[in-house]
Amino acid sequence: MRIATWNVNSITARLPRLLAWLESSGTDVLCVQETKCAAEQFPVEELRALGYESAVNATGRWNGVALVSRVGFEDVVTGLPGGPEYDGAQEPRAISATCGPLRLWSVYVPNGREVDHPHYAYKLRWLEALKEAVAGDAAGERPFAVLGDYNIAPADEDVWDRSVFEGGTHVTEPERAALAALRATGLSDVVPRPLKYDHPYTYWDYRQLAFPKNKGIRIDLVYGNEPFAGAVKDSYVDREERKGKGASDHAPVVVDLDL
């Protein structure tokens, strides 16, 4: 079984590439982030034509997550149970479902913006709520994983130049401690370093030739419990999909399982 996570940075802008990639990659379940559309604008019919069902949590121009599956859905939960609000609303940043033998979450962790910004404190509260919400499944016997754009580089090796991020978000100790607490529920990073590249980054800014120069960061992660991690046979970052006209600034992260 092949699953993947991909921050598409607008599913409307990326739809032709997304459909082509699903056909060529043979992905069974895709966790999508940053759909940047309302739920009724999600391309349900185009995906159904390829044999995929969609479960969507999206409300408008910003954020938005989805699960796209050709093995069906059961027990879909839209949103983060117990999650905090920002500006008076719970943002569409999480969705979970059972897809065949797996229980999966697609998450888009808040960016945090700046360390002294209210969004940073919100990010830490959101991660605490995520930890509480997944703890039961993480410790369970069913294969379970939380996939998505975490907006945190787990270690200094996951950024092209640590000094560039000094004083900013994505690399701070509280953020990394929140990731460690999430892993402590029974999850592990199932996409190890190194992979096919010395630095398997997943995001490269559009500006200043960041991708050709490989000035990237690894923030798109797959955290699985023990039954999930034990079934992993291969994992990789599909850098090819970051190339060319109309690419997202993130690359898909793919995991193959033998269940």
Q: What's phi and psi for 245, nearest 5 deg?
A: -70, 135
Mark whether 199 is an active-site residue: no
Identify the residue whose tokens are 């991909």: 6
How far apart, in Å, are the Cα atoms of 7 and each of 84, 227, 253?
Answer: 22, 25, 10
Catalytic residue, candidates 28, 52, 108, 122 = 108
Alpha-carbon span 12 to 26, nearest angstrom: 21
In the chain, the amino acid numbered 148 is G
Annotated binding residue at 249? yes
Annotated binding residue at 9? no
User: How many Cα atoms sit within 13 Å of 163 on the Cβ side?
Assistant: 0
Annotated binding residue at 7? yes
Residue 227's SS3 state is helix
Catalytic residue, candidates 52, 122, 201, 250 = 250
Mark whether 250 is an active-site residue: yes
Annotated binding residue at 34? yes
Identify the residue whose tokens are 């982030």: 33
Alpha-carbon span 148 to 31, nearest angstrom: 7
Residue 20's SS3 state is helix
- Residue 76 has a CB neighbour count (10 Å cut-off) of 15
Annotated binding residue at 250? yes
Mark whether 108 is an active-site residue: yes
Q: What's phi and psi for 173, nearest 5 deg?
A: -65, -40
Annotated binding residue at 63? no
Please work out, in degrees rounded to the nearest 5, the angle formed at the alpha carbon of residue 42 by the alpha carbons of 41 and 44: 120
Catalytic residue, candidates 28, 137, 149, 158 = 149
| Binding-site annotation, residues for Mg(2+) | 7, 34, 149, 151, 249-250
Which sequence positions are flagged as catalytic?
108, 149, 250
| Binding-site annotation, residues | 7, 34, 149, 151, 249-250
